Amino acid sequence: MAGWSIFLATFLAAAVEWVEAFTIVLAVALGIGWRAAGGAALAALALLAAMTAASGGLLALWLDLAWLQGTIGVLLLLFGVRWLAKAVARRAGLKALHDEDAEFAETRRLLARSDRHAAWLVAFKGVLLEGLEVWLIVVALGLQKGSTLAAAAGALAALVIVAAAGAFARAPLRRVPENAIKLAVGAMITAFGTFWTLEAMGGARTWPWGEWSLPALAVFYIAGGLALAQQLRRSRAAASAAGP
């Protein structure tokens, strides 16, 4: 069960990040060509792969199991809580939805003043920064009980699908339901973080249902996130109706 849930969590999280990275690479490719922009993206992906291999190995060597579990749990909480809060704020209308077309236009505007070398760097940096979140999730989820293969496969599968869809469309991938995915992934990552942080502190007796507590936690955070978004939306509507 854990292997599939890790694959799904990394696949969904990586898909969101790769879509954002693709928008930047597409904008650069229209200026300096697909060969150069693709080269910049591949260089960033190679660096991310090296970082994943090195950091995963170092963490596994340095920390014992309880410390490793605790460290991973806290890292996942830092990541999951942020994604969940962002998705709730967007669903409640408190924060604007991520707009791939606006991102594309902004990158094109920036590139209009740049030379070829600077444009290459924009593609490299864009893929690297978006990929850092994927790196964090793959390393954190992959270290637990040797699930590196499932985590890396999830991220790679997402990369292949986004790259194929991008190559076919040759336009920003605006139809991806980014916020719904972000809410689900934020809930799943927060569930993993809660489970492992508490298990590292209290041992196996912390969770009476064992690993089945994980889907229960994920459902709790998804339902809680949806309820919070609705409640925040109502509060906002009531405040607007009350006037200044």
Partner 1 sequence: MSAFLKVIVGDRGNLAVVAFAVALAAALVEAGFVTAAALVVPLVLLAGVRWLAAR
- Collapsing DSSP states into helix, strand and coil, what is residue 225? helix
68 is a contact residue toward partner 1 (CB under 8 A): no
Hey, which residues between 107 and 136 contact partner 1 (CB under 8 A)? 129, 132-133, 136
Hey, which residues between 10 and 39 contact partner 1 (CB under 8 A)? none
Shortest distance, position 164 Cβ to partner 1, whole Å? 26
* Interface stretch with partner 1, choices 7-15, 39-47, 164-172, 217-225 (CB under 8 A): 217-225
Closest CA to 150 of 141, 158, 159: 141
Closest CA to 185 of 65, 49, 2, 7: 7
104 is a contact residue toward partner 1 (CB under 8 A): no
For residue 12 the two structure tokens come to: 């969904």
Distance in angstroms (rounded) separating the CA atoms of residues 77 and 87: 15
* Interface stretch with partner 1, choices 21-29, 37-45, 116-124, 212-220 (CB under 8 A): 212-220
Alpha helices in the chain (DSSP H): 2-32, 34-62, 65-91, 100-111, 116-143, 148-169, 178-202, 213-242
> Which residue number, 84 or 184, has a Cβ lying nearer to partner 1?
84
> Which residue number, 32 or 75, has a Cβ lying nearer to partner 1?
75
8 A C-beta contact, residue 31 and residue 115: no
Which residues are near partner 1 by CB under 8 A?
74-75, 77-79, 81-82, 84-86, 88-89, 92, 94-95, 129, 132-133, 136, 190, 194, 197-198, 201-203, 205-208, 213, 217, 220-221, 224-225, 228-229, 231-232
